[in-house]
Every structure is written in structure tokens, then in C-alpha cells.
Structure 1
Amino acid sequence: MPMLIHSFAQIFGMDPLPVDRGSIAFFSRATWIQHALGDPCAFHTTLYAASAHLDAFQGANISTMTLYHHTVALQLLQGRLHDPDAVMSESLMACVATLVFFSAAFGDKESSGIHKKALMKMIKAKGGLVDPTIGTFLSEVITAGVLSEAIIIDTTLDIPFLDVPPTPLVPPSFFISAILRRAATKKGGYYNLSPSTTEIFREIQSVISLQSDEPGIRAKWASRIAPLLLSLDHRHTGQFINDEFLVSDTEAISEACHVAALIFWLLFLDDHEYLAPFSMDVLQLLVEKLRFAVSCGSMDTWMRTAPEAHTFP
């Protein structure tokens, strides 16, 4: 039992790494664990999350420990939900959101759908996610869980009282616009993004707003990306002749961002005549270079610099 609590603090709280106060990681390692120790439902949900993550990380089948805590958590949740005198607490909603995520992660579409339906009813009963007592943690956990479920299971992203655009999201993406709008208005507790992260989304929005009926703009970007793609050594697929230059986190992150940008532009402009000569071999090489660059950076650096709203669980 203590091992799973410690594991939860390390995995979701990123303990003992320094994290910002108010972040999901900080809440997970402090307030949430303290709350879970006094709430049987949150306790078993927390241990289930930690155990399920360990199973997935080790590439193992669902363990007996994971099944046990999952079963007990479900029993306690059902008891609370069917009790007319029970209070529809926010911690209960966070527990259900956790079950939504892990059910989707394990490919259990039926269970994730049931949990998600219950969660949506709870949100409606509470009147939305505005000004939750336990802070933005609840809205971020619910949003991350439901968003992950929508991506993994390919379902509609829909949260009551939040203006979430319907899927599929195609350029120009209304999802990006919604992120920027909520980041600017700070309404609904949907995103709590830093100015630098918001600026990245603004740049993405400016790019995806380019339409196919603007050949002049697309030709300009295609002419810029082509020389960079030509610089790739096609004869060294899977071999990295610049390994020695990725000696620090800064260089690894810089290389990862550079290669990710190349992949983005290659996919975005793949229908342009200037990029016609480039084949899937080039894309495969870029993907391999990206994986290598990511592996060269320390995991804690990636986690501590990632948008907090997208790192749980």
C-alpha cells in the first residue's frame, strides 16, 4: 500500500522534482494524497491509478492489485452515487474522471462510456465547473480525462456548460480558437496556460488558418521547407550522424522542436507541388530523428516544461 502511494506521488506529483505551486503535480503530491487518506473512495481510486500506471509502464497485463483497487473503487462510487443523502462532492467527480481516463487507456470503450456519462450528469448537477472549491485542479483533471478519452476512443468531446467544439476538428481549428479565447477570458477554469504557451497556440492558429486557395502563401512556406528537407541524408535512415551534438537538455529540446516543426510542415504542405519529390522515407527519417532527440533530453525536463493541463494523468 505505501509503495503505491509513493508511486502516485512520484508519477503524478513528480516528487521529488521542483514543481510550481498550484500545478496539477503540486496538488497531486500534497492536497490530493492528504484528501485520499481520509476518503475511502478517493483512496482506492488513487491506488488504482498508481497501480494501473505501473502495469502500463512495465508492459504487463492488468495486475491483481490493479483489479482489486478498481473493483473496490467502483463499489464505493456506486454506493455514493446511489445514496440519496450523499453529497455530490468534487472529489467524487475527480475519481470518476480518473476512471474515464484509465478505461479509455486500456481500450475499454464500454466502461469509459459509462464513466463519462456518469461524470457528465454530475457536472450538470453541480452546474458546471465554474469556481470549483478545490480550485482549477478539478476542471483540468476532468478536461484532460475527457479529452484523452475522446482522442483514444474517438468519441465526441462534450463537457456540459463548456463551449467545446464538435469533432472532428479540421483546419482552421476551432479548438485552437477556443483555447485562446478561454486563456484570454479565464472563464470556466478550462485552461491555465502560461503566456509563452498561449503564444505558441497563437502561432499554430496563424498557420492552420492558411487556406488551400492561397497558393502564394503556401508556395512561400513550401520554398522555405524544401531546402531543410533536402539537407537530410537519406542514406543514413535510422542512423544519427549528429549524435555528439545532443549533449545537453537544451540542445536535445532544440533539436526535437526543430524536427517536430519539419514534420508539421511536411504534413501540412504534402499536397504542394514543391514537396512532391519527398516520400514516406523522409517522414520516417524525421520521426526517427525526433524520437532520438526526445530520448536525449531528461524526462523530468520534458515533464516540468510541458503544459500542466495536459500532463495528468
Structure 2
Amino acid sequence: MADPCLFHATLFSAAASIDILMGRKATAVTLYHQTSTIGMLSERLNQEFPLLTYGTLGSVLPLIFYNMLLSTPKPLIDEMGPLIGVIKMYVLPSYITLSQSAAYRGYRTMLSYSCVFDTPPVWDCLHAEFGRSNSILRSLVSSSTFCIGGLLFEKETIESVLDVYEAFSKLDQLSNASAATITTQLVQAITPTNDNLSYSEESKDLSMDNASRMNACCRLSCLIFWELLQCRSQTMTNILIINERAKLLKESMAKISYSFWIRKAPEAFTWITFTGAAGCIDANDRGTFIHRASTILTAVDNENLTLMTQGWKYFCLLRRISGLCRSSADSIYGVD
């Protein structure tokens, strides 16, 4: 690899990914390549005429992505400001020297950043053509309906997802509503269908195959969804229960092979992942969900990042409705 900065950034990505998968702190190897990348980037960006090349962008993206998964949020947001500025500069429509695929890698990184830190994207990278907040649920319903042989999704799963889709479709207009309006609309429009939704233990059955585990994850996601809709009227104890369900969901998803998600259920994977992330209190827990999402969606998503963006829009509205989004003025925590 000719570019030494990109070389160290690539090895940092690999080492950091292994650290995350192993559930450990950054190793000496990870820190070495991270420090080397930062040093070389500083030299490039502190020149009178910053060296803005594909290699520079390719080095910035993993630094932002893995640093936000390995570090604490508040100091990191300030530290990453200059790096975010580089991405923003690269994806401007007038910057014609950058390939579209590289620009969308920038979008993916910033959408991930937004989910982990509960913040809006640093610039408007979303457009009307990406659809509504319920688009990922509509995609999931379509994929479950037209599944070959109808063997992948169980009847109970489809019915539970349809209930969620119907309910969430009524809430699409609440993205900019006040807390009082949200509370009123939830009371008037939502009647949670909690019958037969106690699925928190079934995915621990070691004899289950990938399809059965996926169905269990779908039903657990439905349960988390309904509980998130009721967050504003719940105690912190109830919110912690949702957080524990999200952790159980994360463990259950990890028992399903990546190839299964990629080949057979990318829409289900996207919806389950962003539902789980929405139920997490801690940024590091959300980061684990988003890291897995980026790994799989990179393999299946199109150049417009349709699945990633649909998942992000769903996540944002669900967090907003639940009151868990810390950056929102009407957060149940108050703004940090």
C-alpha cells in the first residue's frame, strides 16, 4: 500500500474491530496504528494547503468510526470536530474529484456517529427520496410476504411485525412534535398488542437454527418496540428492563451467522438492529449494534444506502417518541 497513512488506518481498523468483537479494551497494536494515523493526518491537514486525497479520507473514516465505538462520547465529539470537517468537505456536491462510493462511505460513517451519540448528522445528508420513518418496516413486511415458500418468517412473527408497522405508521408525523403532542398521540393512536410477546428467553435454546433464532429476535424486537412507546410514562426501573432486553437481543443476534443475514434477511436484520440500538441507554451498547450493522449492510446495501438510511430514520423517530434521545429538548433525561 503506497499511502503510509492509509496503511496504518487500515491496520487500525482491523485491530479495533477485533478488540470490539473480543469485548476488550484497545490493545497496544491498536493504539500504535491509531497514533500513527493521527500523526500523519495532522501533518496533512495542518499544511497551508491541506493534502486532501482519497487516502486522507480513507484514513479519516476509520478513525471516526472506531474511535466513537472505543471511547467515551463527550470528549470525543469535541476531538473529532476537525475530522468531521474533512468528511463534510469531501461530500459537498461541488467536490468532483471524489468518487460517489467514497462519499457514501462518509455518509455511512456519519449516520453511525449520529446513532451512537444521539445527535443529528452534522449536515443534511438525508433527502426526501429516502422515504419515511416506517420505510424499513414496509420493506420488512414486503420481504416476509414474498419469502420463497413462506418458510423463513413464522406466522406469529409476521402478525407481530404487522402490528408494529401499523402502529408506527400512525406516528410518522411526530418527528418534530412536542412532548405533550407525542404523549397525546400515543394514548389516542396506540393500543399495544402485548399478547404472546414474552419471547425474552426462547432464543437461548441451543437447538434453534438460524431461521428460528431470527424469528425469536423479531418477536423480542416487537416487545422492545412496544415498551419504548410507553417509556415516557415509565420509571427508570422499566427503562433499565428495556435496556436489558436490548442486551439480550444483541446476544441472540450474535448467534446467527452473518451469511444468513446477508443472503436471506437483510431487511429483518436492519430493523432488529436499529430497534435494539434504540433501546440502549449507553452509547457503547448502541455502538455495538451499529458496528454489526455497518459490517453486514456494507455487504448488502446499495450505493444510496437505502437500508442504512431507512434504519436511521426509524431509529431517530423511535428514540424521539420514547424520550430516550439525550440531545432532544424534551428528553426524559433532560439535555446533557
User: TM-score when scaled to structure 1?
Assistant: 0.57
The residue that corresponds to 1:217 in the other structure is: 189
Give the deviation of 1:213 after TM superposition: 3.4
Aligned 8 A contact 2:9 2:37 in 1:
yes
Please state if 1:118 is matched with 2:83. Answer: yes
Q: Which moved more, 1:51-60 or 1:81-90?
A: 81-90
* Partner Cα distance (2:112, 2:240) in 1: 30
- Structure-2 separation of matches of 1:75 and 1:112: 19
The partner residue of 1:300 within 259, 265, 269 is: 259
SS in structure 1 of the partner of residue 71 of structure 2: coil
Aligned residue among 207, 224, 228 for 1:267: 228
Cα distance in 2 for residues equivalent to 1:59 and 1:285: 17
Task: State yes or no: 1:147 paired with 2:115.
Answer: no
Q: Is the 8 A contact 1:93 1:119 kept in 2?
A: no
Inter-CA distance 295–120: structure 2 relative to 1 (3 Å threshold): closer
- The separation in 1 between residues aligned to 2:18 and 2:26, in whole angstroms, is 9
Q: Identity percentage over the alignment?
A: 19
| SS of alignment partner, residue 157 of structure 1 | coil
8 Å contact 2:194–2:223 — kept in the other structure? Answer: no
Measure how far apart 1:153 and its partner are.
Answer: 4.2
CA contact (8 A) 2:64 2:83 kept: no
- Note the C-alpha offset of 1:121: 4.7
The 1:157–1:256 alpha-carbon spacing in structure 2 relative to 1, beyond 3 Å, is: same
What is aligned with 1:77? 41
What secondary structure sits across from 2:83 in the alignment? helix
Letter in 2 for 1:52: A
Aligned to 2:205: 243
Tell me, yes or no, if structure 1 residue 208 matches structure 2 residue 171: yes
Q: Tell me which amino acid in the other structure corresponds to 1:256.
A: C
Post-superposition offset of 1:207: 4.2
* Matched residue SS, 2:184: coil
What RMSD, in angstroms, separates the aligned Cα atoms of the two structures?
4.5
Distance 1:282 1:86, change over 3 A: closer
Superposition pairs of residues 229-240 of structure 1, within 5 angstroms: 229=197, 232=198, 239-240=201-202
- Kindly provide the CA deviation profile for residues 194-215 of structure 1, in whole angstroms up to 9, marking residues without a partner as x: x936979987861433754355
Superposed displacement of residue 45, structure 1: 0.4
Cα distance change, pair 203–83 in 1 and its aligned pair in 2 (3 A): farther
Aligned residues: 237
The answer to whether the 8 A contact 1:147-1:157 is kept is yes
Superposition deviation, residue 300 in structure 1: 3.2
**Bigger relative CO (Cα 8 Å, ≥ 6 apart):** 2
Name the residue aligned to 1:196: 139
CA distance in 1, matches of 2:53, 2:30: 24
